[in-house]
């Protein structure tokens, strides 16, 4: 068979592999790429497809070896460098150093690529290297002012280094630029940043806007309910937590918070029902077992109360009164 026919056969098999790769059918895609390489071992896109398919199947060592071959054949192919970085990152901590090197090499070749800056920033953020991550997210936003995922990550870095006012400023900018702030829940994120900045009234306003824009977004309703608790507006807090459970009947925090409110109102039967459901959902919560025990004690069931207290201790939970006794 002539060289031209060999290359054509390899290309045809490679195209089939790419079609199955687009369908995320990785085993079939892998089979086509391996067949393509039997026809033409110098087909870089077949090495690339094989490597990516193997990594998607969690077979990282052979996958990265194949991707390395693709990069060797086309060392200036930014897509190959980028995906090799991604696959190294998928390996976990052991792959972070290699991932960083591949992202940086790709950026040398294409310094204006927004996704590369975002990806490198995300890698740094995952490692707690916030001061390294911040410039990368800023570059991504400068290159693409509507790179809203970079806004979220950059704000997360500011919150991690205790600069909530920077996060507040960033979310306000994102809201102005976004055609649909609800898509990324920017008002919710703004509320979180405002809480971190100790600006509770403004945070409440942001959560109220988020619940209006996204009525079924549970996190905003939970935080809004928590603010009402802090304001001692228990009626409104009850409404928010009950609304959460109407949206998600298995949301554990809502049951826990309702149980706490009913305990504070001395409505112990209502507290019992909510806290029982909470520990069903979160059986390893020492606090949940402690407060369920407290509820049983109030209802006069001493045996069940003691069992729950014992379980809370077994899970390592100490209530404040118990802590104080142990410190005496």
| Residue 211 near residue 224, CB atoms below 8 Å | yes
For residues 183 and 175, what is the distance between their CA atoms, to the nearest angstrom? 10
Global pTM? 0.85
Give which of 73, 70, 10, 6 is closest to 37, Cα–Cα: 10
Query: What does the pLDDT read at residue 323?
Result: 42
3-class SS shares of the chain: helix, strand, coil, % to 5: 80, 0, 20
Distance CA 167, CA 197 (A): 9
Per the document, the length of the chain is 328
What whole-number distance in Å separates Cα of residue 71 and Cα of residue 44?
8
Phi-psi region of 54 (alpha: psi -120 to 50; beta: other; left: phi over 0): alpha
pLDDT, tens digit only, all 328 positions of the chain: 443 434 456 788 999 999 999 999 999 999 999 999 999 999 999 999 999 999 999 999 999 999 999 999 999 999 999 999 999 999 999 999 999 999 999 999 999 999 999 999 999 999 999 999 999 999 999 999 999 999 999 999 999 999 999 999 999 999 999 999 999 999 999 999 999 999 999 999 999 999 999 999 999 999 999 999 999 999 999 999 999 999 999 999 999 999 999 999 999 999 999 999 999 999 999 999 999 999 999 999 999 999 999 999 999 998 754 443 334 3
Q: Specify the pLDDT at position 325.
A: 37
Q: Hey, is 235 helix, strand or coil?
A: helix
Helix 234-247 to helix 218-230 angle (10° resolution) is 160
b/e 8-40 (16+ beta carbons within 10 angstroms → b) = ebbbebbebbbebbeeeebeebbbbbbbbbebb
Q: At what angle do helices 148-160 and 130-143 cross, to 10 degrees?
A: 160
What span, in angstroms and rounded, lies between the C-alpha atoms of 154 and 151? 5
Q: Are 62 and 47 in contact (CB under 8 A)?
A: no
DSSP secondary structure, 86-132, as one string: HHHHHT-GGGHHHHHHHHHHHHHH-TT-HHHHHHHHHHHHHTT-HHH
Q: DSSP letter string over 306-326?
A: HHHHHHHHHTT---HHHHHHH
* Domain boundaries along the sequence of the chain: 162-235, 250-328
CATH class of 162-235: mainly alpha
Closest among 141, 146, 145 to 158, alpha carbons compared: 141
Is-contact 143 111, C-beta < 8 A? no
Q: Retrieve residue 180's tokens.
A: 């649909």
In the numeric block, which tokens belong to residue 326? 């142990």
N-terminal to C-terminal alpha carbon distance within the chain: 89
The single residue listed with the structure tokens 């009234």 is 201
Going by C-alpha positions, the residue among 225, 219, 215 that lies closest to residue 190 is: 219
Separation between Cα atoms, residue 70 and residue 79, nearest integer Å = 10
- Would the CATH topology of 162-235 be identical to that of 250-328? yes
- In the chain, how long is the greatest CA-to-CA distance? 90
Nearest to 83 by CA among 43, 47, 126: 47
Can you give the pLDDT at residue 214? Answer: 96
Architecture of the domain defined by 250-328: Alpha Horseshoe (1.25)
pLDDT given for residue 8 in this prediction: 58
Residue 318: predicted pLDDT? 80
- SS3 state at 219: helix
């Amino acid at each position: 068979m002539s060289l031209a026919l060999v290359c054509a056969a390899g290309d045809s098999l490679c195209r089939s592999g790419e079609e199955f790769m687009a369908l995320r059918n990785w085993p079939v895609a892998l089979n086509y790429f391996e067949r393509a390489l039997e026809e033409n071992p110098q087909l870089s896109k077949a090495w690339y497809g094989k490597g990516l398919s193997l990594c998607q199947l969690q077979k990282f060592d052979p996958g990265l070896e194949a991707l390395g071959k693709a990069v060797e054949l086309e060392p200036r192919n930014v897509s190959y460098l980028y995906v090799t970085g991604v696959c190294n990152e998928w390996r976990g901590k052991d792959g972070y150093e290699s991932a960083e090197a591949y992202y940086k090499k790709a950026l040398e070749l294409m310094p204006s690529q927004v996704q590369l800056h975002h990806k490198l920033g995300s890698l740094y953020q995952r490692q707690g290297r916030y001061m390294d991550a911040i410039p990368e997210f800023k570059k991504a936003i400068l290159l693409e002012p509507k790179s809203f995922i970079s806004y979220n990550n950059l704000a997360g870095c500011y919150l991690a280094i205790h600069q909530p006012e920077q996060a507040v400023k960033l979310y306000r900018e994102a809201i102005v630029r976004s055609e649909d702030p609800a898509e990324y829940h920017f008002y919710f994120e703004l509320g979180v940043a405002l809480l971190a900045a100790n600006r509770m009234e403004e945070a409440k306003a942001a959560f109220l806007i988020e619940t209006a824009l996204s009525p079924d977004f549970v996190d905003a309703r939970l935080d809004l309910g928590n603010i009402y608790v802090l304001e001692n507006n228990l009626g409104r807090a009850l409404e928010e937590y009950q609304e959460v459970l109407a949206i998600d009947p298995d949301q554990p925090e809502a049951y826990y918070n309702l149980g706490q409110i009913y305990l504070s109102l001395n409505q112990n039967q209502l507290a019992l029902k909510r806290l029982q459901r909470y520990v069903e959902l979160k059986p390893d919560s020492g606090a949940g077992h402690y407060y369920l025990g407290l509820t049983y004690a109030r209802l006069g069931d001493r045996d069940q109360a003691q069992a729950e207290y014992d379980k809370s201790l077994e899970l390592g939970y100490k209530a404040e009164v118990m802590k104080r006794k142990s410190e005496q």
